[in-house]
Structure 1
Amino acid sequence: MGIEHERISFKTSNKNAHIEAFHSTLEEECLSRNEFQTYAEVYQAVTEYIGFYNEIRIHSGINYLSPREFHRAYNQNSMNGLVIKA
């Protein structure tokens, strides 16, 4: 598939801003709001949060829609006027 894994230099999180932003959001909206007793609890909470993040949570980068709403609009060709931020 031509995929190559590349590591960024230490202390250069600006080169990986998207994943750094996700980790910050994960910490703020999921991990810091719960107290976990076991690894299994953390795993379950993070799995549920990723599902929420990828389907339901509103994202400013896709015109304040959830990914599910954005996908529906895209499939229905009703994206006129939607501004997508990179």
Structure 2
Amino acid sequence: MSKRERKKEIPAFCIEFGKHLRALRIKNDLSVEEIAFKAGIDAQNLRKYELGKQEMKISMLKRIADAFGITTSELLSFDK
């Protein structure tokens, strides 16, 4: 089995959430770098979240919500 075959499939929710995250960032006229800095994370990881290429831990969800100045509930409120 190759390394690529062992990769875990990303759930559809993560892909849709990534689209929502990107739309929210653009709506607030913020760059990836600005949100990443405010959240204390690497911009490359934030891009992966936005593209739905990486799952996010709950602690990271909280940090990103804080960077936007909203609650995690508000961040997760989008049409799925």
TM range (shorter): 0.3 to 0.5
Give the TM-score taking structure 1 as reference length. Answer: 0.35
Give the structure with higher Rg (CA).
Answer: 1
Give the TM-score taking structure 2 as reference length. Answer: 0.37
Larger relative contact order (C-alpha < 8 A, sep ≥ 6)? 2
